[in-house]
């Protein structure tokens, strides 16, 4: 699965999602891109899933147009310590998510 971590997710979170072709917005030089532009770039580069903490993104963007799936992590903060407990459910979601799906994961 080709996965992109949004810039609001700590880069160190990537080590908790082994077995996927995982990149960060920062390492691709896409920091600061608007959500619509980011989804377009993702689709153009073959990314299948965006992992984010932005709970509004699914309401503000047309995911159907890009085919990108979305995993929304809902935690007290976006700090690594608050996101790590969501890893098991995130890995499960990555194993079954399909294009255009939106999966919300909370504690």
What integer best gives the mean pLDDT of the chain? Answer: 91
Work out the number of other CB atoms within 10 angstroms of the CB of residue 102.
13
The predicted-structure confidence for 42-77, as pLDDT tens digits, reads as follows 989 999 999 999 887 777 776 677 888 999 999 999
The predicted-structure confidence for 92-103, as pLDDT tens digits, reads as follows 999 999 998 999
How large is the average pLDDT for residues 17-27? 94
Is beta strand 69-74 parallel, antiparallel or unpaired with respect to 49-52?
parallel
Looking at residue 36, its pLDDT comes to: 84
> What three-state secondary structure class fits 89?
helix
Looking at the structure, give the CATH architecture of the domain made up of residues 2-106. Answer: 3-Layer(aba) Sandwich (3.40)
Name the helix (H) or strand (E) containing 41.
Answer: helix 35-44
């Amino acid at each position: 699965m080709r996965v992109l971590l949004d810039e609001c997710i700590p880069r160190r979170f990537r080590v908790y999602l082994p077995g996927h072709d995982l990149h960060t917005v920062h390492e691709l030089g896409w920091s600061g891109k608007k959500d619509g532009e980011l989804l377009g770039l993702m689709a153009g580069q073959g990314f299948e899933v965006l992992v984010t903490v932005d709970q509004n993104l699914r309401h503000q963007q047309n995911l159907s147009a890009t085919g990108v799936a979305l995993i929304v992590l809902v935690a007290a903060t976006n700090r690594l310590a608050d996101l790590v407990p969501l890893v098991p459910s995130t890995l499960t979601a990555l194993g079954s998510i399909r294009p255009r799906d939106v999966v919300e994961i909370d504690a």
